[in-house]
Structure 1
Amino acid sequence: MQLFWVSQGLVTTASVSEIADWSVISTPAEWAGKGQEYFANKMYRLAASCFERGGQDLKARTASAYHQMSKAKIQMLRGDSRESRLKLREATKALDQCAKDEYTAGQTQSARHLWYHAATCLELAHETREAAKMFVAAGHPERAIRSLFGKGLMNDGLRLFLANRKKLETAVEEELLEYCRSYYFNKLDYGFLPPLFDFDLQEQISYARRNNLRPQLEHILKENKLFVELARLHLEERKLEKALDCFLDDFCEYGRSSSLGEGVEVAIGYAENIFGLETKKSPESLKRLKSMLNKLKPHKLALQPRHTKELSLFHDLLDNYQAVDWTWADKWDQSNPEERIPKSIILHLALSNMDWLVSQSSTNDYELRSLLEAWKTYNALIAPIFEVADPSRLPIAQQLLGFRPSRPDLYINTHFIVSEESVVYECSKQQRVPIQRNSHGDMLFPARWVDKLIRDGLGMPLDRRLRRFYDRLDPKNRNSLGTYTLKSYNITVPSKSMSASYPGYLDRLRAVLIVLDLISPICHARLDSPQSGKPGPLQIWIRCLFDILYPGNGMIGDLELDSICTSSRQSLITGLRTCVKEFLKEIDSSTNSNIQFSSLIVGYSLAIRLVTPDLGTDMFKFTHLNAHSSSAIAPPNNPGMHSPLTGDFISSIFDSNDATGLTEAANVIRNASEASVDPIDLTTLVSLIEFITCDMIFHIRRGLMTEHGFPSLVLPFSWARLLAERYCSTHKTPARDAGSLPDFLKSIIFLSEELRFNSARNWLIGGTVLPKQSDMVQTFNLRLCWCIAFFLVNSNHQLDSADPIISSLIRVSGDEHGRVHKNPCQRFSLVFDQETCV
């Protein structure tokens, strides 16, 4: 092998004596270069020896320090012990000294490297604070701060962060700043917060609000005596008592009257919620309100007069809300927007207690009239709530019914915060309302549900009170408005002494007119549930007025309001016109056709009594259709009263300006008589016949004017008075066509025979079924006889027994076979011409 290597020139052989001449002594530079090579390959001990031979003392010490660091770290990896930590600290000292020497020598970068390694040693030795300082010296402040935060040394890390924050990158600075802010807010350590916000208090408050740190925000505001902002914070959380305390603290601290005013508004707003319309008034809420009002007593002299007045009212209501006198409302002006709410509350509480209906002896006529006037005022105050489609948007509804927008900054809110005292919440218990809760625990109701619950919660109790008032009046004392039952007169009982001005007539009429005036502000509102099927208060009282003006004896009552109440005549007229107009407008074509038919007669019978030259007629026109031909009337198997044009025909009959209005009268009467599906209200039907009779007679004799400009007629006084009211100036109204008289007489005959001889047919008197053998059958038939008799005595020419009028009277007054004439129709048994009739 040797020979092969030699032959190939791979090795050279020489004697030992020759080798000594080959050695060369290295220069210091060569030793330093070799040390640098060893150092780069992490052979720190060899590097240190080379640096020493090369005269590089600092580098030799540095290499020795690195060698010492390497051994210490390896020992730490083998196990964490006191000895291993000691070795790391010794290595750190060596590295630190070298770094200082490097830094002194101007080798900043080398010094930083040494400090960095020294920091890692301290970090391994669990000397976190010292390590952080070394990291900062090495130019790594982020590493230093994070190491302190990582070990839970937040205060040290914060101080280091504040001292070196400008050396950090922007994103890193913002991240660490947010971390510190969040930490100290959540730890409730407020002493370190100011420097984190550059000592800007508003920044601290904004941060707490932005991050929903409510307890911390409350503390900051309280410590800095920002009572107004603290009060508003409590208001957001519905802590009303605390809010009031803060406003009062601000007033006491700084003397700001605005703060006192806001505090009073808080108490008043809560009182409005407690005493609002139909609220439940729990003992807890009353106790809380009393506490709030007592806190304001020491500041009474500093309050505004309006606030003093309202607080005094709520003080009184605390102990007397179940026995409120409606005269308290006289102190409040409803034309002043600021006083409408207290006035509404007083009137509602006064009207809620209806003990005066039970204890009638303590309520005289004057007191009752005053109470009804107060009731009308209350209805006028709450009427706007019923007039709009979305009452939840009305401020007055929000104040009176205890709810508020969830987002006051929005014009339209989809949800509202509802108080547990509110009637809206109480009504929701009976419905499947999708209720939510916000972050403060407030109940959120959808706006559409709030609108519905407002109408239910406010309308139905008012409906019950109006019905109770209708039901509870005493029929015994007919001379007293306060004790006269408005429905005590039973038209199913005939009375010989009854007349158009029977005793107690004016009292009864006055009472109904006052009540209609009372409900006129809210007559457009449906107070009870549409599914109830019951007539509303407006329908009840309108029918009551009709029964008074058109009693069962066929006379027509006087509606001269000057003789009833001169002081409030205009108000009564306005209220009555409003109610009648609304009554006609609410007649629904989808309802029972017979009810619709009767309602139209009732409505227009009252409307004609209110038409005067100064008031006009246009507001009572039911429709504007002009289809009055007989072809528009359905055949007998589909009576015309079921037609949508029924309203037009009846409207035309009552319209004195409609020249052809009477031409369809016979068809309307006959179709109504033939309707067999539902019973017909005989009272209204016969009243309509009497009205048509009166009008036809006038127009038949219209050409026979007397010296007073009015034809000479033979009529009951009350009928003649009605004609005088309607045709006081005949030249202003057209002559009406009365050519349908023969057909009209046939319709009367048909109705009479149906009434007397059709035992399968049911009739109504008001809402009561007419008994088959009732004397009222003969009474109504007698009224039909009188209608024909008046045609007879007012005829323009002499009539004989063959005339349709005479034959009609004979048929209506006779029995089924035309032979026996029974009481009361027997009085017409010998009538055969005008003279015998008279």
Structure 2
Amino acid sequence: MFVQAGHHERAIRLLFGKDFVDDGARVLLTHRTKLDSAIQQELLDYCRSYYFNAYDYGALPPLFDFSLEEELLYARNNNLRPQLMYLLKEHGLFIQLAAVHLEERMPVDALGAFLDDFSAFNRTSSLSEGVQVVIGYAEDAFSLESRKSAESLKNLRKMLDKLKHYDSSLHPRQKKELQLFSNLVDHHKTVDSARASEWDQSDSEERLRKIMLLHLALSNMDWLPSRSSSNESSFRDFLHAWKTYNYLIAPIFEAAEPSRLSMARRLLGFRPSRPDLYINTHFIVSEESVIYEYSKRQRVPVQRSSNGDIIFPARWVDKLIRDGLRTPLDQRLRRFYDRIDRPGWAPTTPRLNLSEKPAKTLEPMTTFYPGYHGRLHAILIALDLLAPICHTDLQGSQSINPSLLRLWTRRLFDIVYPGNGMIGEIDPTWVSIYPSIMSGPKNCVEQYLKRIDAESTFNAKLSSLIIGHSLVMQLKTHSVGGEKLHLTKAKFQGLKGDTQADVLDTHRTPLENTFNSIFDRSNTHGLTNTANIIGDALKTSSEPIDISTLVYLVELVTCDMIFHLGSDAVSQSRFSDLILPFSWARLLAEQYCSTSRSKTRDTSSLPDFLDSIVILSEQLKYNTERDWLVGEMALPGQSDIVETFNLRLCWCIVLIIVNSIHPVVFSDLTMSSLIHIAGDQYGRIPKTPCQ
């Protein structure tokens, strides 16, 4: 009736109001041209919404003038995602369907759409896109330090199983990667580091797989074996694998903004929120990622996008990357060193046994002390592993504990320069077994010296300088890379002008430059400078002193002083006349063995040096206000260790006396100094049990 009367709008609205939408739609489509354009659009939108929400897809085409593009556009604009997916699948638009699934974070369905497109139209690009979806998902699931949830592994298995039916159409490289992830789904907790050798680190894509495999292998610390000949080869391979991992991961630690590195994004499960921008200020982070896990520990505010993505500012991502990588790595490296340093590998370094009778003949350095080579080998291995990332502070600047670099460098010093006053030697055979056994630790020691805090106390800095420079002196006398380990006489000639400056950074403080002169054998004032430094250290009464490093420095000066005392002290024949501990004599030979004459160093500071030894002995025995340290530990006030250090000071003066080219009388300064430090605070020398 209303239609016949020309009231088309009223008729349509009445039908809609009575839920006769089908009848109203027919009237609308028949008489739409008679309606005002705005009213026509309003009524059309009502019908479109009704049929879309009713999933009545058959009624839609007339409402869109049979334009599929308009139907799809309407569904997109009104966020009708299920209906949009149905229309895309129904009309064979699988690539667009896959894109929608990816937007909805439905990778399994996205893969299915790509595979449907490949099956329907034989487009290899669709198959490749599907493979990339799986690989991208797998990279997130097995990202470094990720939590690897059961749900993510289940989804990954589904996708990998789907791709099995298309194996014959895949590229060999795709097959290799998919096979890798298929194995990891079930065996990611028991990865053998040897599998990483199947991937070429010179290839940017394969490098990522190599890093991932090495990380998974290292994450399982049950691999740590006991040292035995049966597993020596496999253990050596594992050490090489760990160093390779540290080397490959180092660029992430080195980068000021690691979030800008493509390798960091793929290894750690995050991506730019706006890929179209050159510089991104925000990133989407996977819930599996270590970045997200550490954000919860540090209570970082989480922002989520409309589709549920986790978004972080770039500055937070950079911080969380460093924390999420370096903390677990620091823990594993500490656990590794604790394991190889335990008695199963090498016994604890013994203190000096004063009752031990001297050997009748000189024995080789393999008997330096029980377990010496085992302990030395262990710490050299540890430093070699640390070398690629030794410039990185794995603990962070807020930690109060010593860094791995400081801890392990100090341990190397304690092994090579133990508490009995002898000087260790590095076994030449190790270089052939571990080519980097020298270069890795040397790089660590150099980095250790660069990290000496400019604001630390004089004595703390002096102790670090003693440790660092002494180790450089030990390490630089060995060749690396197939050359002979020990320097020949010809090489010693070239060493005359060689200083620590050839090895270390030249940007030093005055203390460093002055201290370095003791190691520069061409510096005639080296002994005087070092004697003054020892005196300065004792004058700073309020500062703690590491007695172990200071006594070693006294011994080092003593050894050099003995060699240069007397006018003919630098002649070749002088070596045969010296009375020194074997390790001291070997050190002199390494430093001064030359066919030409070396410069004689000034020994006029001997009286001041002896005075410093006396002061050091008195403070060590009687000064209760001074805080004495041995490494990071406080020295007990009354202990055998104090007596041992004082005895070493006595030995220094005794060796000066017995090597003197002039007769030493009772009133001589050297003799009176010996009597002073050998006695008690009243000058009395206690009787031995023999007396």
User: The TM-score by the shorter chain falls in which range?
Assistant: 0.7 to 0.9
**Where does residue 402 of structure 1 map in the other structure?**
269
Query: Counterpart amino acid of 1:241?
Result: V
Query: Counterpart amino acid of 2:205?
Result: E
**Where does residue 484 of structure 1 map in the other structure?**
346
The structural deviation recorded for 1:731 is 6.5
Alignment partner of 1:653: what SS? coil
**Where does residue 280 of structure 2 map in the other structure?**
413
Change (3 A) 1:819 1:410: same
Distance 1:759 1:707 in 2: 46
Note if contact 1:548-1:557 (Cα within 8 Å) is conserved in structure 2: yes
The structural deviation recorded for 1:437 is 0.5
Note if contact 2:341-2:375 (Cα within 8 Å) is conserved in structure 1: no
**Where does residue 582 of structure 1 map in the other structure?**
447
**Where does residue 568 of structure 1 map in the other structure?**
434
Deviations along 1:690-729, whole A, 9 cap, x unmatched? 1222233344457544357979644323223223333445
Deviations along 1:206-263, whole A, 9 cap, x unmatched? 6765776544543443233222232122223321111111111111112222222221
Note if contact 1:404-1:418 (Cα within 8 Å) is conserved in structure 2: yes
Distance 1:227 1:550 in 2: 71
Match of 2:137 among 256, 270, 274: 270
Structural mapping, 1:411-810, within 5 Å: 411-473=278-340, 475-477=342-344, 483-484=345-346, 488-491=348-351, 496=356, 501-559=368-426, 562-569=428-435, 571-591=436-456, 594-611=459-476, 617-618=500-501, 620-621=503-504, 624=507, 645-700=510-565, 704-706=569-571, 713-729=578-594, 736-810=601-675
Alignment partner of 1:566: what SS? helix
Distance 1:734 1:221 in 2: 89
**Where does residue 184 of structure 1 map in the other structure?**
48
Distance 1:497 1:375 in 2: 44
Q: TM-score, normalised by structure 2?
A: 0.84
The structural deviation recorded for 1:605 is 0.9
Note if contact 2:453-2:461 (Cα within 8 Å) is conserved in structure 1: yes
Distance 2:633 2:554 in 1: 21
The structural deviation recorded for 1:176 is 7.1
Query: Counterpart amino acid of 2:191?
Result: V
RMSD over aligned Cα, in angstroms?
Answer: 3.8
Query: Counterpart amino acid of 1:316?
Result: N
Note if contact 1:329-1:346 (Cα within 8 Å) is conserved in structure 2: yes
1:254 and 2:116 correspond: no
Match of 1:242 among 84, 94, 109: 109
Note if contact 1:704-1:712 (Cα within 8 Å) is conserved in structure 2: no
Note if contact 1:611-1:617 (Cα within 8 Å) is conserved in structure 2: no
Query: Counterpart amino acid of 1:743?
Result: D
Alignment partner of 2:431: what SS? coil
- Alignment: residue pair count: 657
Note if contact 2:520-2:526 (Cα within 8 Å) is conserved in structure 1: yes
Note if contact 2:500-2:516 (Cα within 8 Å) is conserved in structure 1: no
Query: Counterpart amino acid of 1:218?
Result: M
Change (3 A) 1:708 1:789: closer
Change (3 A) 1:496 1:186: farther
Distance 1:524 1:211 in 2: 54
Deviations along 1:281-321, whole A, 9 cap, x unmatched? 22222211111111111112222222222222222222222
Greater RCO structure (CA 8 Å; 6+ sep): 2
Where in structure 2 are there 5+ consecutive unaligned residues? 14-20, 478-493
Alignment partner of 1:580: what SS? helix
Change (3 A) 1:795 1:310: same
Note if contact 1:434-1:446 (Cα within 8 Å) is conserved in structure 2: no
Q: TM-score, normalised by structure 1?
A: 0.70
Distance 1:605 1:715 in 2: 19
Note if contact 1:623-1:647 (Cα within 8 Å) is conserved in structure 2: no
Deviations along 1:364-418, whole A, 9 cap, x unmatched? 3333222222111111121111111211222222122211111112222111111
Alignment partner of 1:512: what SS? helix
Distance 2:381 2:107 in 1: 43
Where in structure 1 are there 5+ consecutive unaligned residues? 1-84, 93-118, 130-149, 478-482, 626-643, 828-838
Change (3 A) 1:657 1:439: farther
The structural deviation recorded for 1:280 is 1.3
